[in-house]
Chain A
Amino acid sequence: MVAIPNSENNPFKVLDKAIDKTLYEDYTVSSIYIKMRDGVKIASTICIPKGLSPEKKIPTLLYQTRYWRAADLRIPFRWVFKETLINLPTPRIFTNHGYAIVYTDVRGCGASYGTRTYPFSKEEIKDGADIADWIISQPWSDGNIVSNGISYTGTTAELLGVNNHPAVKAIMPGHGFWDPCTDVAFPGGCYDDSFMKLWSFLGKNLDNNNAKPFKQLMPILWLIMKGVKPVDNDKDLSQIKEAVKQHSTNQYVSDHTKDRDFRDELLPDGVGIDDFSIFHYKKEIEKLNIPIIGWCSWMDSGYVDAAINRFINMENPQICIIGDWNHGGMYPGNPLNPSKVEVSPTPEERITKWIDYFNKILYGEGIQGKTLYYYTTGEEKWKKSQIWPPNGQKRQRWYLTENNSLSTSRPEEKIGEDNYKVNFRATTGRFNRWWTLLGLPIDYSNRTKADKKLLTYTSPPLKEDMEITGHPIIALFLSSTHEDGAVHAYLETVDESGNVFFITDGNLRLIHRKISSEQPPYKTLIPYHSFKKKDSLPVVPGEIMEVKFGTRATSALIRKGNRLRIAIAGADKDTFKQYPAEGKGKPTITISRNESHASYIDLPVIPRKNK
């Protein structure tokens, strides 16, 4: 697949005022505590352009992280690098162009004091306002703040908007969630056991200022840094010790979610998982109409749907960018183009473009309306739309039919079904869309082999190119031999040589199959499953049920001659919790594909215009 140059809709090329001059060559770093309204001290690292004249005022980028705002480097690295080394790419790109940066450890984390019972607590959100107050009182501040970040830090960037602080002029959530239940913890009602466990494990050690887990997981990083950076005046380390001591009562989400089944089961303090979702704070974030620049990628967990849900639900002026990279944008993430080895744009190019966007908001014409820029994989082309789904989208239905085929004709046979004994060894591996939440690359190159453990349905070769853009919807009429279970469905394409390429996937735990008639908490483009206890339906062994769910959104061009494939699994062992639980036997799933129970996938197709 050959990359086609395309710039007219490329969000990294569209602004005409390219950054062309460097204002500063280096930056100074200092670390201090900022006192919050309740006395909790927040560790903060401040980067200021070196040589900034006393009368010069500049805007500030604010990053509030739970992953150490700055590193205590080992020698000899400390002799050469600044403590901001872990903030990639270098803060220098921003400071050189006249921005100050403030990195903070959120309360209960890093070198900050305080405790945390759950992520993104109300107190943590309020801290953003206190920090903003501190920033604009500094002699170098021009009173403007842009909140920025990726992943957890992206969500804190977005939640800064909740405070409606007048200094906050733009928020830029990169790879952040919208609905933490379905985007990350329980996609399709299936618990992402691996990520939740590993994330909590890492968080606990970070909060204890213990770099030791890196020795096993990221040994090179462990060689370079030994902990979180204490503040500058903490020469005897007494302050950081006291702060870390306060973290000993922190609580971690996996401890409270690993045995849960429903969205409405509460975490400590009577808080539910929805209480720290972005949709919960929609009205507050919309209040000041602050522009939002959201960015994500097709292959990042359920966060791609977060980006789309933010775009279609929030009234703020918005730019939304969905590209073909991994979580955080350090590696490419394009299973249809596995030969792409370099991420595009590079992190440096991306950040340089962010400065253009910030300057446009702070000093230019601002952002009007909403624009979603998206990259169509397989076509290797950027596109844009003011609405989502894009104009012209049509649904094309493909039925699961005999001989493991997909057909656009509805089956006419009275009888037709396929049995699949669930293989609990089936996996998408550890470089999938879920593990990339840890910053890992994306690798779905094993699908040809992986499909041998799955039940597959494959179409004839396509007669024309087909662009699939949006959320495919899967409807399966199935029965199971067991009272619990899950379906993981993969939309793939098979080339003329038989090589299988991943496009997107969806999954659903069978007890959550009820399509709720209630008003969803936000506008959604896929069948609405509430995942609440009251809506759970037991599986009656042997009884046919309709299991209908959306996959994660995608934009992919399938070339003429290639085939479509649906591959169905009952487990993804390296990621999701097993349903039914271990020791309760292996279910056999029977998928109906006949006149009265015609299972199908609806593909969102964008008609091609003689391309």
Chain B
Amino acid sequence: MPHAKALFEDSVQIKANEKDLVISIIVKSENKLKGAFANKTEVNDMLRMFGGLNEDIAMEIDIDEESQKIDLKFQDKNNYIKVRDILDNFLERIIDICNKALAGDISHFRDLGDFSD
């Protein structure tokens, strides 16, 4: 996964608007992912898997495939802050995952117990 850092920093922008309680994730990519940009379940999964979100948070998720933009809209400022904090170091965590994948993902085999279906 060469240049993961540059790719993510160039392609994914996260903007937080405290006044309107909106967080926007904007993807700048030459090739639009038509029909495959994102869905709401995936956005929630992303926040849980890569952000560590471990509770249900009330928010409206607006996905605009044309402009490749996701708006997370909150009524409650505390909820807004929780998600904003999660997204603060989001790209660093994603880049870290890429680097670990590149280094090889094999350590778990050493301690693998018996396994079954």
Contacts and interface: CB of A to CB of B under 8 A. Distances in A.
B106 A218 contact: yes
A435 B42 contact: no
A219 B50 contact: no
A526 interface: no
Nearest to A441: B106
A161 to B, nearest CB: 32
A54 interface: no
A218 B33 contact: no
A218 B105 contact: yes
B104 A441 contact: yes
A221 B98 CA distance: 9
A79 B27 contact: yes
Interface in B73-117: 94, 97-98, 100-101, 104-106, 108-110, 112, 115-117
Contact of A217 (B1, B11, B109): B109
A41 to B, nearest CB: 20
Nearest to B42: A75
A79 B29 CA distance: 7
B96 to A, nearest CB: 10
Contacts of B12: 76, 79-80
B7 interface: yes
Interface residues of B, number: 37
Contacts of B101: 220-221, 224
Contacts of A77: 94, 98
Contacts of B68: 79
Interface in B7-65: 7-8, 11-12, 25, 27, 29, 33, 35-38, 42-43, 45-46, 49-50
A85 interface: yes
Nearest to B36: A78
A78 B11 CA distance: 11
B33 A78 contact: yes
Nearest to A72: B36
Given A79-B12, A80-B7, A223-B49, A74 B42 contact: yes
B8 A80 contact: yes
A235 interface: yes
A331 interface: yes
- For the complex, would chain A's binding face be called helix, strand, loop or mixed by DSSP majority? helix
Given A74-B45, A217-B108, A80 B11 contact: yes
A522 interface: no
B105 A219 contact: yes
B1 A430 contact: no
Interface string A60-103: 00000000000000111111110001000010000000000000
A223 B100 CA distance: 11
Contacts of A76: 8, 12, 25, 27, 46, 50, 94
A198 B114 CA distance: 10
Interface residues of A, number: 32
Contacts of A90: 2
Contacts of B46: 74-76
A218 B102 CA distance: 12
B109 A221 contact: no
Interface in A389-446: 430-431, 435, 438-441
Contacts of A204: 117
A201 interface: yes
Contacts of B105: 218-221
Given A219-B105, A220-B105, A331-B104, A80 B110 contact: no
A443 to B, nearest CB: 9
A330 interface: yes
Contacts of A218: 105-106, 108
A216 interface: yes
A430 B35 contact: no
Contacts of A219: 105, 108
B97 A217 contact: no
A330 B102 CA distance: 11
A431 B49 contact: no
B32 to A, nearest CB: 10
Contact of A224 (B2, B42, B45, B97): B97
Contacts of A198: 115
A75 B7 CA distance: 14
Given A79-B12, A331-B104, A440-B109, A223 B29 contact: no
B33 A430 contact: no
A79 B50 CA distance: 15
Nearest to B113: A216
Contacts of B108: 216-219
Contacts of B50: 76, 223
A132 B115 CA distance: 39
B4 to A, nearest CB: 8
A221 B100 CA distance: 9
Contacts of B27: 76, 79
Contacts of B33: 78-79
A80 B115 CA distance: 34
Contacts of A441: 104, 106
A76, A216, A235, A438 pick with most chain B CB within 10 angstroms? A76
A219 B117 CA distance: 17
A330 B104 contact: yes
Q: Please indicate which of the listed interface residues A79, A331, A435 has the most CB atoms of chain B within 10 Å of its own CB.
A: A79
A218 B107 CA distance: 8
Contacts of A78: 33, 36
Among A217, A220, A330, chain B packs the most CB atoms within 10 A around the CB of A220
Given A220-B100, A220-B101, A80 B109 contact: no
A80 B101 CA distance: 15
A435 B109 contact: yes
B6 to A, nearest CB: 10
12 contacts: A75-B43, A76-B12, A78-B33, A79-B33, A79-B37, A80-B4, A80-B11, A80-B29, A224-B101, A331-B104, A431-B110, A440-B106
- Nearest 8 CB-CB pairs, A to B? A220-B105, A218-B105, A79-B27, A220-B101, A80-B7, A220-B100, A235-B35, A75-B38
Interface of A: 74-81, 85, 90, 197-198, 201, 204, 216-221, 223-224, 235, 330-331, 430-431, 435, 438-441
Given A74-B49, A217-B109, 14 more contacts: A74-B46, A75-B43, A76-B12, A76-B50, A77-B98, A217-B112, A219-B108, A220-B105, A223-B97, A224-B98, A431-B110, A435-B109, A438-B109, A440-B106
